[in-house]
């Protein structure tokens, strides 16, 4: 970005700071965030000693899904360079909870607001050797100040949709882009790499989608059987649903029970604060959900419709499902991650809006592991086709798993990319 652009951007941040402070104070009060979390947003990250010879990599992942990418990458990095220290930052509460579960992380903290003073203070306290931004976290002052301090700054699992690219390009024509100051981009797909290059990336290569490499949950008994569904019973897992999608899934399930009377539903809303809303939507469509959080851990769920209102269980809950519905796809949100279900050999159904996972969705549909429904009222037909033909369901599940297996390897390639940047920076020093 041009110097004037940074000045305008920073001035805008300061002008908006009273509104930002009011919003953040309400958020702290509502979610009972401690002082440490608030201090971190203004540069009060944990103060760390200088890194040893292997260095320290700061990985930033905005929320829970991206933190899963960070965890996969961190495991690959530790395998290749055990002495490398890894610190994690995030923006959301769910991202912080996920960061706490990443093995081997030195510390985790909230990303500072993009004020220069807050970024400089964080850099001084954390003392990173390099910075990796997961997917599309292009914070101008963070990139400028880290790069200006001589740190390699890279985007990993780089994703840039056509819509986002058009927006960035319009701004870049007049003000430039923070992409120009990146040391490199490890992109998910060829199209992503081309878009980053068009915005001025010095180096953009395709390393693949790290989400294909996410390990299966290691906990036992977290499949659909843990929620009271018997072996061999048809069960749909509807994962990461958004407003309006609970009602659409419920209508389809209620209609299908005439032909599949033992059909079960396990539904997990994307945001837990919507649990009441999701339950109300299911009941309005004639279903009687029971909440997972309401039962003792040693007793299975008694209901045929289960509302999964607990954090961190969805990835394992897909195991043993007949098929899955992927939320965020019936509305213009861009879809959630279908790989979580497909890696278990579970065929998936999603709506027309899968822009966040376009390449994954296309591969699953092309290979027969997914059906893309045209809209809410097409779900019943999509579900019924597989539920009525067990052989077709089994073939679709195998196809879904093969798509995942064929696209693995991104973690090792991305780790090599980052370690190369670290080594080059060390040689220059």
Question: Cα(98)–Cα(108) distance, rounded to whole angstroms?
Answer: 10
Token pair belonging to 405: 């297996």
DSSP string, 44-113: -PPP-PPP-TT-EEEEE--SHHHHHHHHHHHHHHHHH-TT-EEEEEESSHHHHHHHTTSTT-S-EEEPPP
Determine the longest span between alpha carbons in the chain, in angstroms.
70
Taking Cα atoms as reference points, which of 248, 252, 403 lies closest to residue 340? 403
The kind and range of the H/E element at 429 are: none
- Cα gap 336→331, rounded to integer Å: 11
Structure tokens at 83: 């002495």
State the number of CA atoms in the 13 A half-sphere of 167 facing the CB. 6
Q: Which of 47, 52, 66, 137 is catalytic?
A: 66
According to DSSP, residue 286 is labeled: T
Q: Look at the block and give the residue holding tokens 């819509």.
A: 163
How far is the CA of 138 from the CAs of 23, 205, 259, in angstroms?
22, 18, 50
Cα–Cα distance, 84 to 4 (Å, whole number): 37
Q: DSSP letters along 52-70, please?
A: -TT-EEEEE--SHHHHHHH
Of 369, 427, 1, 367, which Cα lies nearest the Cα of 174? 1
Closest CA to 344 of 302, 388, 401: 401
Annotated active-site residue 66? The verdict is yes
Q: At a CB cut-off of 8 Å and minimum separation 6, what does 247 contact?
A: 281, 282, 284, 285, 376
Helix ranges restricted to H, 87-201: 93-99, 116-126, 140-148, 162-175, 190-198
Classify burial at 180, counting beta carbons within 10 Å of its beta carbon; exposed 0-12, middle 13-18, buried 19 or more.
middle
Rg over CA atoms, the chain = 22
- Neighbour order of strands in the sheet with 184-187: 108-110, 85-90, 56-60, 130-134, 153-158, 184-187, 204-206
Residues marked active site are found at: 66
């Amino acid at each position: 970005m041009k110097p004037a652009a940074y000045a305008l951007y920073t001035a805008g941040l300061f002008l908006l700071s009273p509104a930002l402070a009011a919003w953040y104070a309400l958020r702290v009060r509502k979610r009972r965030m401690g002082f440490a979390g608030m201090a971190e947003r203004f540069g009060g990250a944990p103060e760390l000693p200088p890194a040893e010879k292997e260095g320290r990599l700061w990985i930033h992942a905005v929320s829970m899904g991206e933190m899963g990418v960070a965890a996969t990458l961190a495991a690959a990095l530790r395998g290749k360079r055990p002495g490398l220290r890894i610190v994690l930052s995030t923006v959301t509460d769910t991202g912080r909870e996920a960061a706490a579960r990443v093995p081997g992380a030195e510390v985790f903290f909230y990303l500072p607001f993009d004020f220069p003073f807050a970024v400089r203070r964080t850099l001084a306290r954390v003392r990173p050797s390099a910075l990796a931004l997961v997917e599309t976290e292009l914070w101008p002052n963070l990139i400028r100040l880290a790069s200006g301090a001589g740190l390699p700054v890279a985007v990993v699992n780089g994703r840039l949709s056509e819509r986002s690219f058009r927006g960035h390009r319009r701004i870049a024509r007049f003000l430039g882009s923070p992409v120009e100051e990146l040391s490199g981009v490890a992109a998910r797909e060829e199209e992503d790499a081309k878009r980053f290059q068009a915005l001025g990336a010095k180096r953009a290569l395709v390393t693949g989608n790290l989400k294909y490499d996410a390990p299966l949950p290691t906990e036992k008994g977290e499949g659909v059987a843990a929620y009271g569904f018997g072996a061999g019973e048809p069960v749909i897992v509807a994962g990461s649903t958004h407003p309006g999608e609970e009602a659409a899934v419920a209508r389809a399930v209620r209609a299908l029970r005439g032909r599949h009377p033992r059909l079960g539903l396990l539904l997990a809303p994307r945001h837990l604060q919507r649990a009441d809303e999701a339950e109300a939507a299911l009941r309005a469509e004639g279903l009687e959900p029971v909440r997972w959080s309401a039962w003792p851990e040693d007793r299975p769920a008694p209901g045929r419709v289960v509302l999964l209102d607990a954090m961190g269980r969805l990835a394992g809950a897909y195991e043993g499902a007949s098929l899955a519905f992927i939320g965020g796809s019936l509305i213009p949100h861009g879809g959630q991650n279908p790989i979580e279900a497909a890696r278990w050999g579970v065929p998936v159904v999603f709506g027309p809006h899968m822009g966040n996972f376009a390449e994954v969705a296309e591969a699953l549909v092309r290979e027969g592991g997914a059906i893309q429904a045209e809209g809410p009222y097409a779900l019943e037909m999509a579900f019924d086709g597989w539920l009525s033909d067990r052989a077709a369901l089994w073939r679709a599940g195998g196809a879904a798993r093969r798509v995942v297996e064929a696209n693995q390897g991104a973690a090792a390639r991305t780790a090599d990319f980052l370690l190369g940047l670290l080594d080059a920076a060390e040689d220059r020093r």
